[in-house]
A and B are shown apart, each in its own frame.
Chain A
Amino acid sequence: MVRFMRAPARGASRAELRKLADEELVQLVAASDADAFEVVFERHVDAAFALAYRMCGRASVAEDVTQEAFLALWRGARRYDRTRGSVRTWALGIVHNRAVDALRRSSVHDRRRAHEEGAEEALEAPERTDVQAIGNAASAELRSALEQLPLEQRRVIELAYFGGFTHVEIASMLDTPVGTVKGRMRLGLQKLRGQLHRWEAVGG
């Protein structure tokens, strides 16, 4: 693993930190422990950047969004509530919110173009590495669950989640009643949720 920071004085504690679970590390981050932050950061930065890149469609914007999100995590670690999900879910949630903010600062037209380009580029990943092979298996399964949704349901979910469009904007883009858009979102998410249930059952 490549190191960018000077080796810390407490090298031994570094190794110890790497053995800790995210939830424990976040408690140290809340006490302004920069070493603990670095461990959390390294565990999740690739997934965070990938999400921001998929949403924003441009590496430079994705980089800014990911940076903002991790600095928010560093400064707001006390807000982490483990009853509401894993550290990764929390971190990606912050990235998602920041990316939506960035998207909503641009016009609907520009966002639509970015969304379509992002969807295309998603097919050919930037800078794939072997390290990600492990993550690929899980994400491939999730992706196929999403791909199996009826196109109309998948489309509204992707426009909302990855495109940052509101339900009213989506209704107008697709020339579809607002109620129909909400209904498709609900059906699609229920199906995805059902799929997750089945995996949980298999895994457990």
Chain B
Amino acid sequence: MSSFETDGDCGERANAAAYALGALEDRDAFREHLLSCRGCRAEVAELQLAVDALAGTVTPASAPESLRRKVLDAVRSEADLLHAAGRKADRAPRARRAPARWRLLTAASAALAAGAAALIVLAVRSGSSNAVRVTAAQIAASERGAHGALRVTGGRAELVLGGMRQAPRGQIYEVWVSRGNGSAPAATDALFGVTRAGAASVAVPGSLHGIKEVLVTHEPLGGSLHPTSAPIVRVVL
């Protein structure tokens, strides 16, 4: 009787509701199945409308003023930064040649510095209770056109990138932190991809205390414990 049974034969159909609710444990396998099953896709699309409506069943509440202020302050300062970075990027010197291949992070640092727009900006927004420190990122010459900055507010750091290329097939970006003095970079669980437009923003896990550098490399999906490629982004604190 119902419009949900567009294809009663599929044995996976029972997973559609749990999937739409975000509660299915083997999410990836079902997502794969959806690529080839029109009936399940239709069911998920239908049930998703019901799931979306659930958000509207909650008792209304007013967002606290502190939340409004934090979000709008952050957005204003990022918009300022992006507009400023856009102007600076236009004037950035072009890298003369891309390094062939970096094997070691330490060996890469010189090449990074020689790459596009090695520029440190320290911006402290006055008049705001939370000082925001913004440090521009150094970008490897192989990612020409990309730009980025590390934004630190109250001990929490966030890397904001733009103009990045998609990570190579089967790879993902990984964030590393280094304490300097030749010590090996430590892996973080911050793994990320970039939007179609090449943008990404990712929180740097943990405290920045004692951290000298924040780095980004390409790594196999799932991340690595030790870097397997040269850094693409480096922020020197």
Contacts and interface: CB of A to CB of B under 8 A. Distances in A.
A196 to B, nearest CB: 6
A189 B20 contact: yes
Contacts, number: 192
User: Chain A CB within 10 Å — which of B2, B59, B61, B201 has the most?
Assistant: B61
A87 interface: no
A159 B138 CA distance: 45
Contacts of A66: 63, 67, 71
Interface stretch (B48-56, B173-181, B221-229): B48-56
Contacts of A122: 58-59
A55 B137 CA distance: 36
A77 B2 CA distance: 36
Given A146-B54, A182-B14, A192-B53, A46 B22 contact: no
Contact of A34 (B61, B76, B197): B76
B51 A5 contact: no
B160 A75 contact: yes
Contacts of A96: 22, 55
B74 A71 contact: yes
B179 to A, nearest CB: 26
Given A50-B59, A50-B60, A89-B52, A63 B23 contact: no
Interface residues of A, number: 79
User: Chain B CB within 10 Å — which of A75, A96, A165 has the most?
Assistant: A75
Given A49-B62, A160-B22, A186-B17, A196 B50 contact: yes
Interface of A is mostly: helix
B96 interface: no
A67 B71 contact: yes
A48 interface: yes
A21 B120 CA distance: 39
Contacts of A95: 55
A57 to B, nearest CB: 12
B21 interface: yes
B25 A166 contact: yes
A179 B70 CA distance: 44
B61 A167 contact: no
Given A54-B58, A167-B25, A74 B78 contact: yes
Contacts of B113: none
B17 A189 contact: yes
Contacts of A127: 61-62
A75 B195 CA distance: 10
A38 B60 contact: no
Given A189-B47, A193-B47, A139 B23 contact: no
Interface in A50-99: 50-51, 53-54, 59, 63, 66-67, 70-72, 74-76, 78-79, 85, 89, 92-93, 95-97
Contacts of B69: 4
Contacts of A161: 21-23, 51, 54
B65 interface: yes
18 contacts: A34-B79, A38-B75, A67-B74, A70-B71, A71-B74, A96-B55, A123-B59, A125-B59, A128-B60, A131-B62, A139-B58, A145-B57, A166-B25, A167-B24, A182-B14, A182-B17, A190-B2, A190-B47
Closest 8 CB pairs of A and B: A160-B23, A49-B63, A186-B17, A34-B79, A132-B60, A185-B17, A192-B50, A50-B61
Interface of A: 2, 4-5, 30, 32-34, 37-38, 41, 45-51, 53-54, 59, 63, 66-67, 70-72, 74-76, 78-79, 85, 89, 92-93, 95-97, 100, 122-123, 125-129, 131-132, 135-136, 138-139, 142-143, 145-146, 157, 160-162, 164-168, 170, 179, 181-183, 185-186, 188-190, 192-194, 196
